[in-house]
Amino acid sequence: MVPAYKMAPGATDMHLLRVCLRVGFDLEMADLLAHHVELVLDKLDKHTSGSVQSPGQAYEQEQAKLAKEFKQRAGPC
């Protein structure tokens, strides 16, 4: 199992995957996992554009915009 985690606002340029291993996971399986991760990362690097937003990024930007507008309407507290 390899879940991905969203980072804090100050670390959005960093990506984190946590690998959970089962009992009996051996060196051969680790080599195979590392190989597959490298293949996927190479593919993502070739086919991912920094200018294209993911749905999550678009949602976060929309929420930040709405929060900013709300603060402006609310005035100083």
Residues 37-47 pLDDT 10s: 899 888 877 77
- Spatial neighbors of 33 by CB under 8 A, at least 6 apart, are 19
8 A C-beta contact, residue 14 and residue 7? yes
Would the pLDDT of 51 be above 70? no
Would the pLDDT of 71 be above 80? yes
What does each C-alpha distance from 45 to 18, 30, 36, 38 come to in angstroms? 20, 22, 14, 10
Spatial distance between the Cα atoms of 33 and 17, rounded to a whole number of angstroms: 13
